[in-house]
Structure 1
């Protein structure tokens, strides 16, 4: 009769993900760890640690939870830059299955935040320091677009025209912004030309609304590649002398949130019709010229 001992279990694996991803700077994403067990028997005492990268921390409301059994220790603190799972009481990973541990995190700086966890270990399998034993994922945090504005001709005369141009910039070098929008209502007396000639120009995509003779312009649904800028422009006019100080609404983008406003002033002056004439005399068509010149009769004179 032959007896054989228990086989060595295959070690568990650990993966992780962030959702949503990307987020706005200071936004919240749920970090989820998945602990997987390829064995036909339950693994116990599962644990791991994870030091978060610079610029990432546990959110103000951690909402930590786990589907792993065994009442594992899992209580990340708000503001913490490291999370520890199962360090006091380990978790059970079901046979031929998996379980998860999740916590809300936030990114306080812009850009990608690559996160590599420590190795997972269990009572039966020890520490898996090989392939699949640690988890890697990256959370990207993006910042909102910025907006600036300028009047092309400034000052103008009453009923003259000036091209009002808005410039939107995506400060995220590698991330496209979508859903870009802004609105600007002008101060009283400043209006879009009627008819709209030249027509409204837009390099931001999406849809621009600007009515001939109206006092506003808006953009919705714009898109802008990482590190790029785009413009929206409309010709405006005013029928009264004034300094028209104008501040737009804030520009925004889906996910990235709300960015800056833009301010500029247009000066409108009254026409000045004064004309003066200066008459001078000389003995040559090319000068020199004098206010008074004494000459002999029949001398040719030039004015």
Structure 2
């Protein structure tokens, strides 16, 4: 009979157990950027081909770990503008916004060897056989950090990584409830971001694992699907891209990507305490102004559709945007 090593004393936060979405043969790590590095390591690739249109933290982490990084552009359909991947190089294919269906990602991956699917924006996207699949937990669930890597031999090297500890910088999750997302809660979150940015690859913390093991995933999936559908009905007529072109029933989006060619829109939203933000503004200095990457970085606003909200919030955001345009 197995018992806890500590019995008695004060009560801790208590979570349901046994609900973890990804069980079995998965590598549980501290961040998706570390997960991409781990996937490249499992594939025995010392060079990684990244899309320009991706968070710079992935690039920076790989370079810090001694991985050579190459880049590719994407077209307006989010397809790589390359024909082949160099030998002994892993290519990262991003499931953008969580709106690229399984068939779409399977088709893209079939064109290359040593494929890493970056599902940081698509936590519930089914793993693709023959690829390394990387998932970020904190973009979909209220956790301080955490990532999964699923694929052949995904659990290799885990014994070489230290266990992460995230409780010291997780207070922002509680402060958000009482103080909102500004002020001290935001400052505490920034401290957690700094910890992740400075961290090496580690195994998932016990705190993050406990939260993920007690989360109602069906509720999250249902709410995000409904909110995305509502957002499509509201915003598709003003959107310069089509978010539904590769969408399928297996998609659980992270955000609704709204592209409107109006630089005053984002400040207008923030003025009304609708906290959105352009992604990856660093690309404005690193890509050609005529490129799709530059265009998306300049104009795309990721509209929040997560499980905290519903139809009323979607309409509220739409009404603000309608007045600002």
- The normalised TM-score by structure 2 is 0.19
- The normalised TM-score by structure 1 is 0.20
Higher helix share: 2
Higher strand share: 1
Rg larger for: 1
